[in-house]
Amino acid sequence: MERDRLITVENLVKAFGPKLAVNDVSFSVERGEVLGFLGPNGAGKSTTMRMITGYYPPTSGRITVGGHDMVEDPIAAKKLIGYLPENAPGYADMTVNGFLNFCAELRGLQGDARKRAVHHAVELCFLEGVLYQSIDTLSKGYKHRTCLAQSLIHDPDVLILDEPTDGLDPNQKHEVRGLIKRLGEKKVVIFSTHILEEVAAACSRVIIIDRGRIVANDTPAALAARSPEGRLEDVFREITLPDTVDHVRPAAVAEVNA
């Protein structure tokens, strides 16, 4: 393992019955990188991220986090990861403070270390004003920020963030983008988004996935340069297919029928 390589994904495949959701995906991410994970709806983004976190087992292929195999040594691998899943789940009857203290305890933090961790996460995610509200009374944006705070609670080396600005207003989006960029200076951050302006604002590298396969892996500037107008949106539309198009890659069909 290279010294700063924290995530390695090799020939990753995930099948749900006859559907091949992820098809032979390989990439690596080093400390200090913010990797934007883009693709149309149903392209395999969330499925890939869930396999990296250990939520889904791969059908085949290998994932290592900090040198730990996610299948063979999942506890050691998961200790290094903070995960913000899609739709920001939480316990509705808990207060924000109670939920974050609960998450800190699950991560093995006790006493003063737990208090410091909760305080730091609250500051990072701007939750001071809602700390003692129950989660079911929060706006969608504050619910999402609360779940983002739990992903940071143990100061992980790797952050996996699925739509981290979903439901946030423009000011909150700006704050979270800035936070992601700062965190990415010392950690690995992988985040999925449908908002292409976030890629230019926060990412050092971009992977675009379509129909379960990687179709681009480069810096935002290099990808945008492929367009005569310098627009990442134009490149995205050129190399991906909308989910309304009835199209199955021949290689995917061959693997399913093998």
Q: Say how far apart CA 83 and CA 174 lie, in whole Å.
A: 20
Q: Are 37 and 29 in contact (CB under 8 A)?
A: no
pLDDT digits (tens, 9 = 90+) for 53-82: 999 999 999 999 999 999 999 999 999 999
> In the chain, pLDDT over 90 holds for what percent of residues?
70
Domain boundaries, the chain: 5-80+156-257
Res 98: pLDDT: 97
The model's confidence at residue 107, banded by pLDDT at 50, 70 and 90, is very high
Helices marked H in the chain — which ranges? 45-53, 74-78, 96-106, 111-124, 140-152, 170-183, 196-202, 220-224, 232-239, 250-257
Site of tokens 């379509």: 210
Instruction: Spell out the CATH class of 5-80+156-257.
Output: alpha beta
Please give the model's pTM, rounded to 2 decimal places: 0.87
Q: Say how far apart CA 82 and CA 66 lie, in whole Å.
A: 13
Range 240-252 average pLDDT:
56
pLDDT digits (tens, 9 = 90+) for 193-206: 888 888 888 899 99
Q: Is the pLDDT of residue 258 over 50?
A: no
Mean pLDDT lowest among 159-163, 224-228, 252-256? 252-256
The model's confidence at residue 252, banded by pLDDT at 50, 70 and 90, is very low
